[in-house]
Amino acid sequence: MRIVHVVDYSMPQMGYQEFLLPKYNAAAGHEVIILTSDRYFPVPNYEDTWKEFLGPRIIGCKSEIIHGVQIERLKTTFEIKGRPWIKSLKNRLKRINPDLIYVHGTGSITAYRIALMSSLNNCKFIYDNHMIFDIMQKGTAQKIYYFFQRNIFSKIIEKRAAVIFGVTEETCDYLVKIEGFNKKNVQHLPLGVDDNHFNNTDRKKIPSLNQYVEILQTGKLNNDKKPQWLAKACLDLLIEGYKIKLKFLGAGDKLIVEQIRQSFNKANFESCLEFSKLTNYKYLPQEFKKSDIAIYPDGTSLSALEAASCGCEVIMADLPASLSREKKGVGITYKRGDITDLKEKIKFLIGKLNDSTNYVNNAPNVISSEYSYKKISEDMFFEKDKK
């Protein structure tokens, strides 16, 4: 089968679903092409976060093959709030003549353009969405946007799509309640893990009572992810006498980072704090394997699944996606923003780690059975059977 994934911004180095799903489609023997813009996503503070890792945001038009996937970067005419107009998209799709077009996102200019391309009537269409209620923007402009999305644009997409996937159960609710898709056309296809890459092979031994417990937070270090909450919890535990070393692997808000440094220095625990720059996706497994507990104090993060797949204990904020993962046996949650509760959950896991006779972490097995991209890639082709 010839499959085209259309992605506004493709960043294979980051290990996101927009590349891992095509990668596993290709591994299954399909011909896979990603059509995307000539730039990376305009994340806030790009210069201070992703630039050092990814390089300049606008990288230009080019074609390359990565893990059997052909990535074609087309010229961007303009972009509005993370929504690019990708030039020559229609002509390129006509020349490729795909059997299946998988469009990542339902609220982009690209999503609407492809739904209106009458010359593509002979192929199948799939759309997906990653939105959750917690990060929905509010205001007059957003109300106007959602009005048109619900009453016009979603209807256009729904006429074209064989299925609209939500990457969490909450996303599926969002697609129905906010964007106005018919519930029968919406299905759950979860985010997952490249468990060939993230696994618990050669993981370090469980710590003894005389060793420091290594705690890790990865990714963006900004107010959306609240590293300051984790720093506060760990500093309190250090003052109580717990042997902890806290590492932040990422980049973000310089003010937040400096405030964390100052708080540890003031308490004379600077040796228990480490900041390290964003690392390449291929080196992340070894970071998780060196750590005992990975903590994501706010937001939902794919990294929580990756850490769990490497055998790391995980604590997440009690958002719906994380609660669902917890029920399946991946990590535990704490009451979001409650530093006291976060400390109690860290203490609980430290106790488990030190009780080596009863220590069992089944999360890697859950990941393999529920969240492996090999399984998810297969599931995307059987959406009709799920209805």
Q: How far is CA 24 from CA 127, 366, 379, in A?
A: 17, 19, 11
Quote the pLDDT of residue 48.
78
**Contact indicator for 28, 47 with CB cutoff of 8 Å:** no
Task: For the chain, give the mean pLDDT.
Answer: 92
213-366 is a CATH 3.90.700.10 domain: no
Contacts of 38 (CB under 8 A, 6+ apart): 58, 59, 60, 61, 62, 73, 74, 75, 76
Closest CA to 318 of 342, 294, 302: 342
Tokens of 113: 């353009």
Quote the pLDDT of residue 356.
63
Quote the pLDDT of residue 387.
39
**For domain 2-192+372-386, which CATH number applies: 1.10.260.40, 3.20.20.70, 3.40.50.2000, 1.20.120.1200?**
3.40.50.2000
Quote the pLDDT of residue 53.
82
Quote the pLDDT of residue 119.
78
Q: Do domains 2-192+372-386 and 213-366 have the same CATH topology?
A: yes
Domain segments of the chain as ranges: 2-192+372-386, 213-366
Low-confidence ranges of the chain (pLDDT < 70): 204-210, 356-360, 382-387
pLDDT digits (tens, 9 = 90+) for 155-174: 999 999 999 999 999 999 99
Quote the pLDDT of residue 118.
81
Contacts of 379 (CB under 8 A, 6+ apart): 189
CB atoms within 10 A of CB 243: 14
Q: Hunting for tokens 């990814």 — which residue is that?
A: 54
